[in-house]
């Protein structure tokens, strides 16, 4: 038990599960109660995540508020949770994005199972971010697939069954490699030290217990699973289908939270467990990331479906995170972590806005939309701000992450950074072009009567806009809390590989 005297981290996972059970127990006929329980649960989790933010010690680089209960003693598997600067804001993002997605979007049918699945998904996502046990992590990492599969298949659009199946199989295939990696890692660790455990910290800190070549192979096993999840080029094709066909709330959670499972995995497990292998494969992964930045943007520009365009933009934005992660500099990693949060906010907001357009016009075809700014000026204004944030305008949140990533990768991955910066131009191309076609011009008959945002929709967007401006103007409190954990991770990589961070980038006083 932690110093808090309350199992806060466990509660963050258990409360949504209990909420899901409660929703399942409410009779289907009582729709209001179903919704009430669902919304209340997400609000409780949000409050818990804010509590976590408050009690988090920003100067501590290690894992905090740890909770460890033996689960399967024979195999050394434990319910082992902890939070550090890297996972903190992802948990908070999940906690705060959920009420917005649940309140903001009402399902078209069967709200009961819909809410239950969403809450289970929340538990899984938070579980991934908090797990410090490899086996527990794998369970969480896999569990999230099930609710998302049903959400896409049950409440999605168009070719939803194909999209759901593709999403499921793609990710499962990747995870299979990781499972082999986890089991092999635990047994090799046992061979070297005589102790069978799945404890992340124990295995990671016992560097040298595994041969270099073996570690590289194991890293690849993990990397495939994460690369699918990110997704890294060329393993990305499940994403546009899943994101486009998912119901709006599903897209928000998919882009806002679930894509981060991959980039988070790289940071938490890739770099921490296999620092030498991560340094060895870094040029390769960075190359794929940079290809994703350019490729995602080019393909996004040519999309005819607005939602698909936003989906492809994620490929580009996530490419930046991979670049920052494998730059191994304070700015790169810090930028990567904050970019995960910022992408969640901006892209989540974009999906909500596209959902609002769809609700009004029953189409997402760019060619069929025109002049919406005239008909719905507030919607257009909000879209403009979110778009500028996604483009990376300084003063809004998107800039902070992208800038730090590029700044931090320049000293160690110079030419990749130079090429990646082109992505900043391309982001302006695809988003402004889409905006021009959808919002500018004189509206034709079909678009002229499009209603503007109503009060509920404005209330939904308000916190997102506030976050976009706040994190752009004053990211310091967030960056400060991320930095110790990130520095610790870099020091860990430096200690176990021949990599060393250029002096210009390193935190002063560290060397």
Partner 1 sequence: MLSAVWLIPALPLAGFLILLAAGRKLGEPAAGWLATAMVTGSFVAGLVTFAGLLGEDEHHRQFVFTVFEWLPSGSFSVDVGFLVDPLSMAMVLFVTGVGALIHLYSIGYMHGDPRFHTFFLYLNLFAFSMLMLVLGDNLLITFLGWEGVGACSYLLVSFWFERNSAAVAGKKAFVTNRVGDWGFMVAIFLTFASLGTLTYAGEEGFLENAGALPEATALGIALLLFVGAAGKSAQLPLYVWLPDAMEGPTPVSALIHAATMVTAGVYLMARVNPLLDAAPAALTVISVMGAATALFAATCAVAQRDIKKVLAYSTVSQLGYMFLAIGVGAYVAAIFHMITHAFFKALLFLGAGSVIHGLHDEQDMRRMGGLRKLMPITAGTFIVGWLAIAGIPPFSGFWSKDEILAAAWDSNRLLWLVGVITALLTAYYMSRQVFLVFFGPPRWQEAHAGATSEEALAEPEHEPAAAQAAPATPHESPPTMTVPLVVLAVLAAGGGLLNLPGVLTLEHFLEPVFEDRLHELDIPAGILLSLAAVTGVGVVIGILAARAIYLRSTQPADRFEPELLRRAWGFDQALAGFFGGPGRAFANFTSRVLDGRGIDGAVNGIATLVRGGGSRLRLTQTGYVRNYALFMGGGAVLLLAFFLLRTGVA
Residue among 374 and 458 whose Cβ is closer to partner 1: 374
Instruction: Go through 426-461 and write b for each residue having 16 or more CB atoms within 10 A of its CB, e for each that does not.
Output: bbbebbeebbeebbeeebeeebeebebbeeebeebb
- The CA distance from 311 to 315, in Å, is 7
Q: Does 58 bind partner 1 (CB under 8 A)?
A: no
Q: Does 507 bind partner 1 (CB under 8 A)?
A: yes
Residue of the chain from 118, 299, 341, 460 that contacts partner 1 (CB under 8 A): 299
Whether residue 231 has a cis bond before it, omega within 30° of 0: yes
How many CA atoms, within 13 angstroms, populate the side-chain half-sphere of residue 59?
0
- Using CB under 8 A as the binding rule, the residues of this chain from 213 to 252 that contact partner 1 are 234, 236-238
- Using CB under 8 A as the binding rule, the residues of this chain from 320 to 339 that contact partner 1 are 329-331, 334-335
Q: Does 492 bind partner 1 (CB under 8 A)?
A: no
Q: Does 170 bind partner 1 (CB under 8 A)?
A: yes
Residue among 250 and 296 whose Cβ is closer to partner 1: 296
Minimum separation from the CB atom of position 47 to partner 1 (A): 29
For 302, phi and psi rounded to 5 degrees?
-95, 5
Instruction: Go through 84-120 and write b for each residue having 16 or more CB atoms within 10 A of its CB, e for each that does not.
Output: bbbbbbbbbbbbbbbbbbbbbbebeeebbbbbbbbbb
- The CA distance from 475 to 42, in Å, is 25
Residue of the chain from 14, 393, 469, 491 that contacts partner 1 (CB under 8 A): 393
Which positions ≥6 away from 195 have C-beta within 8 Å? Answer: 76, 189, 202
Query: Which residues partner with 305 through β-bridges?
Result: 365
Rounded to 10 degrees, what is the CA torsion of 248, 250, 255, 256? 100
Q: Does 410 bind partner 1 (CB under 8 A)?
A: yes
Minimum separation from the CB atom of position 244 to partner 1 (A): 13
Stretch that binds partner 1, among 75-83, 90-98, 135-143, 394-402 (CB under 8 A): 394-402
- The CA distance from 377 to 375, in Å, is 6
Which positions ≥6 away from 122 have C-beta within 8 Å? Answer: 16, 42, 45, 94, 98, 253
Residue among 195 and 510 whose Cβ is closer to partner 1: 510
- The CA distance from 78 to 76, in Å, is 6
Residue of the chain from 85, 104, 270, 411 that contacts partner 1 (CB under 8 A): 411
Stretch that binds partner 1, among 82-90, 207-215, 260-268, 298-306 (CB under 8 A): 298-306
Q: Does 384 bind partner 1 (CB under 8 A)?
A: yes
Stretch that binds partner 1, among 97-105, 123-131, 178-186, 478-486 (CB under 8 A): 478-486
Stretch that binds partner 1, among 11-19, 175-183, 255-263, 406-414 (CB under 8 A): 406-414
Residue of the chain from 68, 374, 458, 488 that contacts partner 1 (CB under 8 A): 374
Q: Does 207 bind partner 1 (CB under 8 A)?
A: no
Q: Does 181 bind partner 1 (CB under 8 A)?
A: no
Residue among 273 and 391 whose Cβ is closer to partner 1: 391
Query: Which residues partner with 68 through β-bridges?
Result: 80
Residue among 97 and 375 whose Cβ is closer to partner 1: 375
Q: Does 421 bind partner 1 (CB under 8 A)?
A: yes
Q: Does 479 bind partner 1 (CB under 8 A)?
A: yes
The tokens of 89 are what? 């804001």
User: Which positions from 427 to 456 touch partner 1 by CB under 8 A, shown as an x/- string?
Assistant: -xx--xx-xx--xxxx--------------
Query: Which among 264, 309, 298, 322 is positioned nearest to 144, based on CA atoms?
Result: 264
Minimum separation from the CB atom of position 26 to partner 1 (A): 39
Is residue 126 a contact partner of residue 493, using CB atoms and an 8 Å limit?
no
First to last CA, the chain: 35
Which positions ≥6 away from 75 have C-beta within 8 Å? Answer: 135, 186, 196, 198
Stretch that binds partner 1, among 89-97, 122-130, 357-365, 480-488 (CB under 8 A): 480-488
Minimum separation from the CB atom of position 477 to partner 1 (A): 10
- The CA distance from 239 to 259, in Å, is 9
Minimum separation from the CB atom of position 384 to partner 1 (A): 8
Question: Which residue has tokens 């870094």?
Answer: 282
Residues interacting with partner 1, by CB under 8 A?
Answer: 166, 169-170, 234, 236-238, 295, 298-299, 301-303, 329-331, 334-335, 371, 373-374, 384, 388, 393-395, 399-400, 403-404, 406-408, 410-411, 417-418, 421-422, 424-425, 428-429, 432-433, 435-436, 439-442, 473-476, 479-480, 483, 487, 502-508
């Amino acid at each position: 038990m932690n110093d808090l005297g309350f199992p806060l981290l466990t509660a963050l996972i258990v409360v949504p599960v209990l909420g899901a059970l409660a929703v399942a127990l409410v009779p289907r006929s009582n729709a209001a109660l179903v919704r009430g329980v669902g919304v209340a649960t997400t609000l409780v989790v949000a409050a818990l995540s804010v509590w976590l933010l408050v009690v988090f010690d920003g100067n501590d680089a290690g894992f905090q508020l740890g909770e460890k209960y033996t689960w399967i003693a024979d195999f050394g598997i434990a319910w082992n949770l902890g939070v550090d600067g890297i996972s903190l804001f992802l948990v908070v993002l999940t906690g705060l994005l959920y009420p917005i997605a649940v309140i903001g979007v009402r399902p078209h049918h069967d709200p009961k199972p819909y809410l239950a699945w969403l809450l289970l998904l929340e538990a899984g996502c938070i579980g991934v971010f908090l797990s410090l046990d490899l086996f527990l992590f794998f369970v969480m990492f896999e569990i999230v697939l099930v609710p998302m599969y049903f959400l896409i298949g049950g409440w999605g659009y168009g070719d939803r069954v194909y999209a759901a199946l593709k999403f499921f199989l793609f990710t499962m295939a990747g995870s299979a490699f990781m499972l082999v990696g986890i089991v092999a890692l635990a047994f090799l660790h046992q061979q070297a030290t005589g102790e069978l455990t799945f404890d992340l910290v124990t295995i990671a800190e016992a560097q040298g217990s595994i041969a270099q070549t073996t570690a590289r192979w194991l890293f690849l096993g993990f990397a495939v699973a994460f690369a699918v999840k990110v997704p890294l080029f060329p393993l990305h094709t499940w994403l546009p289908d899943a994101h486009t066909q998912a119901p709006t709330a599903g897209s928000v959670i998919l882009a806002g939270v679930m894509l981060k499972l991959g980039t988070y995995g790289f940071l938490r497990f890739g770099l921490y467990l296999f620092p030498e292998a991560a340094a060895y494969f870094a040029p390769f992964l960075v190359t794929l990331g940079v290809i994703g930045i350019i490729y995602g943007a080019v393909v996004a520009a040519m999309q005819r479906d607005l939602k698909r365009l936003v989906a492809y933009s994620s490929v580009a934005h996530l490419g930046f995170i991979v670049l920052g992660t494998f730059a191994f500099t304070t700015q790169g990693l810090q930028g990567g972590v904050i970019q995960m949060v910022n992408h969640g906010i901006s892209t989540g907001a974009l999906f909500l806005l596209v959902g609002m357009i769809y609700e009004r016009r029953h189409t997402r075809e760019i060619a069929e939309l025109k002049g919406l700014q005239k008909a719905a000026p507030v919607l257009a204004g909000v879209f403009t701000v979110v778009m500028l944030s996604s483009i990376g305008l300084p003063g809004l949140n998107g800039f902070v992450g992208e800038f730090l990533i590029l700044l931090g990768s320049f000293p160690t991955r110079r030419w990749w950074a130079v090429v990646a910066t082109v992505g900043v131009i391309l982001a302006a191309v695809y988003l402004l072009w889409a905006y021009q076609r959808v919002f500018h011009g004189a509206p034709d008959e079909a678009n002229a009567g499009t209603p503007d945002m109503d009060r509920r929709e404005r209330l939904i967007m308000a916190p997102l806009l506030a976050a976009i401006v706040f994190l752009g103007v004053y990211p310091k409190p967030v960056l400060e809390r991320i930095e110790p954990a990130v520095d610790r991770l870099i020091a860990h990589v430096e200690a176990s590989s021949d990599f060393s961070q250029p002096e210009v980038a390193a935190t002063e006083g560290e060397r």
